[in-house]
Amino acid sequence: MLKMSKILLVLPVSTKEWIEKTRNYLLNLTLSNTMVDIINLPAAPESIETFYDSALAAPMVIDAVVKAEKMGYNAVVIGCFEDPGLHASRELVSIPVLGIGETSIIVASLIGERIAVISTGQNSRAVYERKMMEMGLNKKLVYSGGIEIPVLKLLDERLVTKLLIGEAKKAVQKFGADVIVLGCGGMMGLYMKIQRVLKTSVIDPLLVTVKMAEAFSHLGLTHSKAWIYNIPKHKKR
């Protein structure tokens, strides 16, 4: 029998509207013995759309992760595709910390060879090309783009779905993508609609990462401290 798993989902933004929407979305998608608590960060930016936004949010994310471990959570998910504070958080705690950007891209690389990442805004192309390069997966990236709508307007599901389908069609038909990664946690729940139209795999980063955190927790897996996350003793908090 699987043990109870407590996961904290940190939305690194000050906008409150995402909390209830995210809670309702995940309600029936996790195992009965998994509890997912969701918080936002009141002092963080309204949305994460630039490197600067991500840098501002990172220290608050790190503090939330450290507190989560002390409160008995088994895993933490950072609910932003930029993964603010991800690696620093892993240095400071022993529980698994997963970012929806890194996790969804890795999962996409397991089920496809030609990856497309679709987020918001024109600068998405450069941002996610850089992210794929840092992860060593840039050779699998065939398309990176963004729909012309700000993150705070993603609550308009009909418009967002229409725009995403247009971008996804271009990625598949023009660039040969065989797996689409939605590049924002605010696009939750839209992957099935896009899959039905395109007949190709579409990754919902929030859902995939919560399910991976659930698996890590149940399997007793966490990040190794043998190398990259091994902080020198004189630097430990």
DSSP of 167-191: HHHHHHHTT--SEEEE--GGGTT-H
- Distance between CA atoms of residues 48 and 232, nearest Å: 31
Helix, strand, coil percent values for the chain (each to nearest 5): 45, 15, 35
Same domain, 108 and 51: no
Q: What is the pLDDT of residue 4?
A: 83
Same domain, 61 and 18: yes
CATH number at 108 reads 3.40.50.12500
Same domain, 160 and 93: no
Same domain, 13 and 84: yes
Between the two ends of the chain, the Cα-to-Cα distance in Å is 36
Q: Letter for the amino acid at 84?
A: P
Same domain, 89 and 105: no
Same domain, 59 and 125: no
Same domain, 107 and 16: no
- Distance between CA atoms of residues 183 and 69, nearest Å: 27
CA 190, chain centre distance (Å): 15
Same domain, 35 and 108: no
Distances (CA, A) of 180 to 119, 163, 164, 165: 11, 14, 10, 10
- Distance between CA atoms of residues 214 and 211, nearest Å: 5
Per-residue pLDDT for the chain (237 aa), expressed as one digit of tens each? Answer: 567 899 999 999 999 988 999 999 998 899 888 999 999 999 999 988 889 999 999 999 999 999 999 999 999 999 999 999 999 999 999 999 999 999 999 999 999 999 999 988 877 777 888 889 999 998 999 999 888 887 777 878 888 999 999 999 999 999 999 999 999 988 999 999 999 998 899 999 999 999 999 999 999 999 999 888 988 776 666
27: domain range? 5-99+207-235
Q: Does an H or E element contain 38, and which?
A: strand 34-40
Q: What is the pLDDT of residue 116?
A: 96
Same domain, 81 and 116: no
Same domain, 11 and 76: yes
Nearest residue to 187 (alpha-carbon basis) of 112, 81, 115: 81
Same domain, 137 and 166: yes
- Distance between CA atoms of residues 127 and 23, nearest Å: 28
CA 23, chain centre distance (Å): 15
How many residues are present in the chain?
A: 237
Same domain, 92 and 172: no
Q: How many domains does the chain have?
A: 2
Q: What is the pLDDT of residue 221?
A: 94
